[in-house]
Amino acid sequence: MRVVLLGPPGVGKGTQGRKLAHGCGWALISTGEMLREAVARGTPLGVEAKKTMEAGMLVSDPIMIEMVKERSAEPDAGLGFVLDGFPRTVTQANALDSMLQSREQRLDVVVGLEAPRDKLARRLSARRECPLCKRAYNLVSAPPRDGLRCDDHPGELLVQREDDTEHTVRRRLEVYDRQTAPLLSYYQGQGRLREVSAEGTMDDVYRTLAQALGCRV
Ligand code: AP5
Ligand code: MG
């Protein structure tokens, strides 16, 4: 099965993407995580993308399309994948359609996750992540056991993402409304959109998704 998780910053794409990949045996393709890894490694792509990401803007379509083309062709994506953060523009959505068609594959479902804006901003300001395994925590809704360090890597102090400042979060939400939200009607028109509320707890949201997609709850 091939699934896209669509929704604004902080709605839970990364959180649910990880759980679904684990529960369903699919590859997780998170373009934001791939870019952050490139930034951390200081690759030419990372150096180029860093400023754009910190400004809350989108990295260019050709770069993102190539990245997903390569990643989705890896063996672990053969049984299915969940896309977190891609596509984000109509150009990317068209490229994804063409790519899958050329492989005689198709996109099965696009999940549109939604939650009120004030909730998104609160989730993002309290988000922290493990610098090593990238597991996401939340100081309010999902704190680590000791309040500071990763449960799985007790030597690692959790960190805040560079783009989770108030100013950049506002910009990311504007960019979402302008460039990504139009994809909801794009996929609605294709009959692939399934809207799911992301307002409940992480486990509640996962249960709804897993049942809808036929995965282990
Ligand atoms: P990306 O990493 O994709 O960021 P984003 O879309 O802004 O989304 P976030 O990762 O901030 O939120 P999320 O929905 O994953 O929420 P999470 O699960 O962490 O992209 C970053 C940047 O990379 C972009 O701005 C752009 O520059 C670039 N980029 C990436 N892809 C691109 C593309 N295709 N094209 C161009 N540029 C691209 O949850 C948030 C917090 O809430 C966490 O603390 C979590 O623990 C908590 N939480 C989650 N669910 C719940 C719940 N149900 N209840 C309570 N708390 C919850
Ligand atoms: Mg994310």
Tell how far the Cα of 14 is from the centroid of ligand 1, in angstroms. Answer: 6
Residue 6 has pLDDT above 80, yes or no: yes
- From 94, 70, 68, 92, select the one nearest 82 (Cα to Cα): 68
Residue 127 a catalytic site member: yes
Q: Which ligand does the CA of 38 lie closest to? A: 1
**Probe target for ligand 1 pocket from 33, 119, 141, with the most ligand atoms within 8 Å of CB:** 141
- Chain centroid to CA 211: how far? 20
Residue 216 has pLDDT above 80, yes or no: no
**Probe target for ligand 1 pocket from 4, 5, 11, 15, with the most ligand atoms within 8 Å of CB:** 15
Pocket of ligand 1 (CB under 6 A): 7, 9-15, 31-32, 35, 52-53, 56-59, 64, 85-86, 88, 92, 123-124, 127, 136-138, 141-142, 163, 172, 198, 201-202, 205
Cα separation of 180 and 174, whole Å? 10
pLDDT digits (tens, 9 = 90+) for 154-210: 999 999 999 999 999 999 999 999 999 999 999 999 999 999 999 999 999 999 999
Q: pTM of the entire structure?
A: 0.96
Question: What are the helix and strand counts (H, E) for the chain?
Answer: 9, 7
Quick check: 184 and 190 in contact, CB under 8 A?
Answer: no
Q: What is the pLDDT of residue 215?
A: 85
The b-or-e profile of 51-90 (16+ CB within 10 A means b, else e) is eebeebebbebeebbebbeebbeeeebeebbbbbbbbbbe
- From 139, 135, 136, 134, select the one nearest 122 (Cα to Cα): 139
Quick check: 4 and 107 in contact, CB under 8 A?
Answer: yes
pLDDT-based confidence at residue 91 (cuts at 50, 70, 90): very high
By percentage, how much of the chain surpasses pLDDT 70? 100
pLDDT digits (tens, 9 = 90+) for 97-136: 999 999 999 999 999 999 999 999 999 999 999 999 888 8
Cα separation of 63 and 178, whole Å? 20
Q: Of 2, 13, 18, 135, which is the active-site residue?
A: 13
Query: At residue 199, what is the residue type?
Result: E
Tell how far the Cα of 181 is from the centroid of ligand 2, in angstroms. Answer: 16
Q: What is the mean pLDDT of the chain?
A: 96
Report the atom number in ligand 1 closest to the C-alpha of 56: 25
Report the atom number in ligand 1 closest to the C-alpha of 136: 46
Which residues lie closer than 8 Å to 73 by C-beta, 6 or more apart?
A: none
Q: What is the pLDDT of residue 118?
A: 94
DSSP secondary structure, 90-155, as one string: HHHHHHHHHHHHHTT----EEEEEE--HHHHHHHHHTEEE-TTT--EEETTTB--TTSSB-SS-TT
Residue 128 a catalytic site member: no
Sheet containing 2-6, strands listed edge to edge, beginning at the edge strand earlier in sequence? 27-30, 81-84, 2-6, 109-114, 193-197
Query: Residue range 39-61: average pLDDT?
Result: 96
Residue 214 has pLDDT above 90, yes or no: no
Quick check: 136 and 15 in contact, CB under 8 A?
Answer: yes
Q: What is the pLDDT of residue 187?
A: 98
